[in-house]
Amino acid sequence: MSQEHLTIFDTTLRDGEQSPGASMTREEKIRIARQLERLRVDVIEAGFPAASEGDFESVRAVAESVKESTVCGLARAVERDIERAGEALAGAAHARIHTFIATSTVHMENKLRMGPDEVVERAVAAVRRARDFVDDVEFSAEDAGRSEPDFLYRIVEAAIDAGATTINIPDTVGYAIPEQFGQLIADIRANVPNSDRATFSSHCHNDLGLAVANSLAAVTNGARQVECTINGLGERAGNAALEEIVMALQVRQDVFPCNTRIDTTQIVPSSKLVASVTGFQPQPNKAIVGANAFAHESGIHQDGVLKHRETYEIMRAEDVGWNTNRMVLGKHSGRNAFKSRLAEIGIELESEAILNDAFAKFKELADKKHEIFDEDLQTLVTEAGVEAE
């Protein structure tokens, strides 16, 4: 299958920062933005310039220090927000303004207190004003996942006519399920007469743990940008995780029509940097970047991987930036993994009898401890050797 390019729009510095407790200083944003550039993301959403003086300065600093990726600033569909975004992005090599307004009935009636006509007018005015500053304008229909499709078609068509080059369809509250969300993208593309003049994008939240699945369904149905964050950081349960989307596309090129320009070896360094800046460590069993993502404990798995990696691995740890996969010695581990770890740390046993004795002692200890470390092995082997003499 010939692969089209999928734009990776990283919003770690904006939606990720909206994770309670994850706010970042200007210097931290610059450090992460530089790493995102090494990762080769296409667009970095650096912040929300109208939110505070500090965020304005952060977006301005990121815009001035990033050269390859496009730098984006968020703005409500409000003139002052758009002007602040335009000012903050003035020094960027490639700049995008991302303006949004809510389109679901629950948001329009209860939050905006506006009727649909006024919402469309605001969207059009916002996109036009953004075009005064930049050619690259993204429009988001906030809460699109719960909006009336006919109203979405109307506002998307108007936003494209006003000059939006990217149309983002957010599942703001993580309500969608993959089949339905994919169909929504397909329906918007089919029912909006000028849809071929814009790139369609997904922005999925993870309230039901479906953000990545929904984003991939969007790609299958014609989205050519996904919005995501490192480690899936973001409001509430977070956003779609960049590393999972990128690796799903890479590993399953047989089923997806797109690939990215991400340097996958920079995934783990990016994850570690974001974790150290925010203090939010990914859980150990988190796909791709969790500490156990490439660790094998059970004897059957360890034996399989030692004989042929692909028995239990669908990608290489090194390809996403880990040094190597990891054999964890614990109570499920087998003799083969035990022997192989001893060899790795330079321990050669003089006889099979000593190995058998050491392995028996290892199993006894493993019943009492979660994980057996190299220092434990040294002690075990010494004891086994002494007894065998």
Specify the amino acid at residue 167.
Answer: I
Q: Given the complex with ligand KIV, which of 242 and 295 has the nearer CB atom? A: 242
Residue 203 labeled ligand binder: yes
**Residue 172 binds ligand KIV (CB under 6 A):** yes
Specify the amino acid at residue 99.
Answer: T
Q: Given the complex with ligand KIV, which of 223 and 366 has the nearer CB atom? A: 223
φ, ψ dihedrals at 263, nearest 5°: -85, 100
- Select the span of 15-23, 40-48, 215-223, 364-372 touching Zn ion (CB under 5 A): 15-23
How are beta strands 326-327 and 295-296 bridged, if at all? parallel
Smallest gap from residue 174 Cβ to ligand KIV (A): 9
**Residue 301 binds ligand KIV (CB under 6 A):** no
Instruction: Let me know: does 205 contact 239? Beta carbons within 8 Å.
Output: yes
Smallest gap from residue 32 Cβ to ligand KIV (A): 18
- Which partner, Zn ion, ligand KIV, none, binds residue 86 by CB below 5 to 8 Å per kind? none
Residue from 281, 277, 236, 240 nearest 20 by CA? 236
- Select the span of 11-19, 90-98, 114-122, 369-377 touching Zn ion (CB under 5 A): 11-19
Cα 14-16-19 angle, rounded to 5 deg: 115
Q: Given the complex with ligand KIV, which of 134 and 305 has the nearer CB atom? A: 134
Question: Which residue pairs from 114-119 have beta carbons closer than 8 angstroms and sit at least 24 positions apart in sequence?
Answer: 116/151, 116/154, 119/155
Q: Given the complex with Zn ion, which of 280 and 312 has the nearer CB atom? A: 280
Smallest gap from residue 102 Cβ to ligand KIV (A): 8
Q: How many chain residues touch ligand KIV (CB under 6 A)?
A: 9
**Residue 203 binds ligand KIV (CB under 6 A):** yes
Smallest gap from residue 380 Cβ to ligand KIV (A): 53
- Select the span of 8-16, 95-103, 104-112, 284-292 touching Zn ion (CB under 5 A): 8-16
> Which value, in Å, is the radius of gyration of the alpha carbons in the chain?
25
Q: Given the complex with Zn ion, which of 15 and 37 has the nearer CB atom? A: 15
How are beta strands 199-204 and 70-76 bridged, if at all? unpaired
- Which partner, Zn ion, ligand KIV, none, binds residue 140 by CB below 5 to 8 Å per kind? ligand KIV
Instruction: Let me know: does 22 contact 233? Beta carbons within 8 Å.
Output: yes
Instruction: Please state the separation of Cα 190 from the chain's center in Å.
Output: 28
Smallest gap from residue 23 Cβ to ligand KIV (A): 16
- Select the span of 109-117, 167-175, 267-275, 276-284 touching ligand KIV (CB under 6 A): 167-175
CA distance 25 to 40: 22
Contacts of 299 (CB under 8 A, 6+ apart): 332, 333, 334, 335, 336, 337
**Residue 17 binds ligand KIV (CB under 6 A):** no
Smallest gap from residue 143 Cβ to ligand KIV (A): 6
Residue 206 labeled ligand binder: no
**Residue 45 binds Zn ion (CB under 5 A):** no
What are 370's two structure tokens? 């979660």
Specify the amino acid at residue 127.
Answer: V
**Residue 15 binds Zn ion (CB under 5 A):** yes
- Which partner, ligand KIV, Zn ion, none, binds residue 17 by CB below 5 to 8 Å per kind? none
E strand spans, the chain: 4-5, 7-10, 43-47, 70-76, 95-102, 137-142, 166-171, 199-204, 225-228, 258-259, 295-296, 326-327
Q: What sections of 40-176 are H helices per DSSP?
A: 53-65, 79-88, 105-107, 116-131, 149-162
Instruction: Let me know: does 57 contact 87? Beta carbons within 8 Å.
Output: no
Smallest gap from residue 11 Cβ to Zn ion (A): 7
**Residue 100 binds ligand KIV (CB under 6 A):** yes
- Which partner, ligand KIV, Zn ion, none, binds residue 229 by CB below 5 to 8 Å per kind? none
φ, ψ dihedrals at 70, nearest 5°: -75, 140
Residue 285 labeled ligand binder: no
Residue 94 labeled ligand binder: no
Question: Residues interacting with ligand KIV, by CB under 6 A?
Answer: 15, 100, 140, 142, 168, 170, 172, 203, 205
**Known binding-site residue numbers for Mn(2+):** 15, 203, 205, 239
Question: Residues interacting with Zn ion, by CB under 5 A?
Answer: 15
